[in-house]
Homo-oligomer: A and B are copies of this chain.
Amino acid sequence: MQEECGIVGISSSDTLPFDLYYSLYALQHRGQESAGISTYHEGEMELKREMGLVAEAFGEKDLNQLQGNSGIGHVRYSTSGKSRIENSQPLLVSSSEGELSIGHNGHIVNSNKIRKELEEEGHVFTTGNDSEIIAHLLSKNYTKYKDIVKAIKKSMDELRGSYSLILLWEGKIIGVRDPYGIKPLCYGKTSNGYMVTSESVALDTIGAKLIDDVAPGQIVIADEDNLNKYTYRKEGTAHCFFEHVYFARPDSKIDGKLNYDCRFNIGKKLGENYPVEEADLVSPVPDSGITFAIGYSEATGITYKESLMKNRYVGRTFIMPGQEMRETAVRLKMNPVESNVKGKKIVLIDDSIVRGTTSTQIIKQLKKKGAKEVHLRIGAPPIRFPCHLGIDMATEEELIANNNEIKDIEKQIGADSLNYIGIDELIEALNIKKQKLCLGCLTGEYPV
């Protein structure tokens, strides 16, 4: 189950549904399957969730009905079959201690165990997804300890996996980040309150100022006037490096690093260590390869030019060609720019290779259009293992780097040369200590 999602919470002295709407829009790249907002207004909670993009899910009327001056929002991504409204978030539950709304980004690895324990204590579940399990756990512990911070900490004692949470509780917004800090979470100041969210771009979008990242194992609680911080404990930080490299927007600052800089530096490092002699141009696979390619150009002096143009109109209802038309499928998304391809020696930059099928098609396409040579450089090291913490990549067998040497991959995809950034080079480019990163999909060593 893929659980990459975007979350946001805002406390305010004014009504805020439009701010939540615009924030979710800034996080739309983190999930396009469903969108939801819950708000707190004079002691009552309101919830609205719909399938689709933020702009499809909410109309002006909906936002006007969702009064309230604190609230949380969620966008969900899912590749699994159960794409149902029941699984969309935020979730809203009530217990003896009142109502609680919750939005979750991450993946709880021991959710079945916790669920079983809760069921044995009599808990009954409606959806059974991670968010409901966390909500029940929190409710149980709050009922027991009557102290929200203690309840959260006791719940964190049991949760294993990645989780950034946004809670709406008694009119306050609460951000919780797992002890490893796997998924991003940050907070900032709006003109009349506070905001907690997955990425700083959501703050930028509504004109709020980033204060800091929520630290691994930290809890932040905000109303319109104050934001208080509580420490659970750190487990040894393990930020997902892929957020910097691919998931988060380049203009987001995550764990103190602007992703643009991360990608630019990786690109430079790739250029320094894996140059191509007498190349005519360096070119990205759009959009994810762009910043890497600009860095590569900086390091090598090779001209940055676009050899592929992306069509921006593929939506959920678009009829993709079937398997037998894989070439058409690639052409629909990316079209070669003739004068930057024909007779050219191209350095092509992509963020990562998962199965290798898209790279194969792109190179084939460029060669067909007359490219003399295509040298592929990749901004992430070879992905050899599946992610168990919330990213739905592929099964171990499907990962091309799981059972192939780089030279074999080079041959399979038809590149004239292929180089990945090395793990140590990556770490140097990110300028984050190795022990502070989750590199599970590269090394097979997971923090949890």
The residues of B that contact A317 with a CB separation of less than 8 Å are 55-56, 59
- A37 on interface, CB distance cutoff 8 Å: no
C-alpha gap A381/B96 in the complex (Å) = 43
Most buried by B among A86, A126, A136: A126
C-alpha gap A123/B85 in the complex (Å) = 23
When the two chains form their complex, are residues B294 and A25 in contact, meaning their CB atoms are under 8 A apart?
no
Known: A58-B319, A311-B28. A92 touches B260 (CB 8 A): no
- A305 on interface, CB distance cutoff 8 Å: yes
- Residue positions of A touching B, CB distance < 8 A: 18, 21-22, 25-26, 28-29, 32, 47, 53-56, 58-60, 63, 85-86, 91-97, 116, 119-128, 132, 135-136, 139-140, 143, 201, 204-207, 249-251, 253, 258, 260-261, 264, 287, 290-291, 294, 297-298, 303-306, 309, 311-315, 317-319, 321, 327-328, 331-332, 335-340
When the two chains form their complex, are residues A119 and B95 in contact, meaning their CB atoms are under 8 A apart?
yes
When the two chains form their complex, are residues A260 and B339 in contact, meaning their CB atoms are under 8 A apart?
yes
Known: A26-B311, A258-B338. A125 touches B94 (CB 8 A): yes
Q: List 10 A-B contacts (CB under 8 A).
A: A18-B319, A18-B321, A22-B321, A26-B311, A47-B86, A59-B319, A93-B124, A122-B143, A124-B135, A249-B309
When the two chains form their complex, are residues B335 and A204 in contact, meaning their CB atoms are under 8 A apart?
yes
Q: Using A22-B332, A250-B306, A291-B306 as known contacts, list a sample of 18 further A-B pairs with CB atoms less than 8 Å apart, ordered by residue number in A.
A: A18-B321, A21-B319, A26-B311, A26-B335, A29-B312, A55-B314, A92-B126, A94-B124, A95-B119, A122-B123, A204-B336, A205-B331, A205-B332, A207-B328, A260-B306, A260-B337, A260-B338, A297-B304
C-alpha gap A58/B125 in the complex (Å) = 25
When the two chains form their complex, are residues B55 and A315 in contact, meaning their CB atoms are under 8 A apart?
yes
Closest to A205 in B: B331
Known: A58-B319, A204-B331. A93 touches B337 (CB 8 A): no
Number of copies: 4
When the two chains form their complex, are residues A335 and B251 in contact, meaning their CB atoms are under 8 A apart?
yes
Known: A331-B204, A337-B250. A126 touches B95 (CB 8 A): no
When the two chains form their complex, are residues A332 and B294 in contact, meaning their CB atoms are under 8 A apart?
no
The residues of B that contact A91 with a CB separation of less than 8 Å are 126
C-alpha gap A60/B322 in the complex (Å) = 12
The residues of B that contact A97 with a CB separation of less than 8 Å are 119
Most buried by B among A125, A250, A332: A125
The residues of B that contact A59 with a CB separation of less than 8 Å are 317, 319
Closest to A26 in B: B311
Shortest C-beta distance, A89 to chain B (Å), equals 12
* A85: contacting residue among B21, B28, B85, CB under 8 A: B85
When the two chains form their complex, are residues A319 and B55 in contact, meaning their CB atoms are under 8 A apart?
yes
When the two chains form their complex, are residues B121 and A95 in contact, meaning their CB atoms are under 8 A apart?
no
When the two chains form their complex, are residues A339 and B258 in contact, meaning their CB atoms are under 8 A apart?
yes
When the two chains form their complex, are residues B313 and A25 in contact, meaning their CB atoms are under 8 A apart?
yes
Most buried by B among A60, A119, A143, A337: A337
Most buried by B among A22, A303, A312: A22
C-alpha gap A55/B59 in the complex (Å) = 21
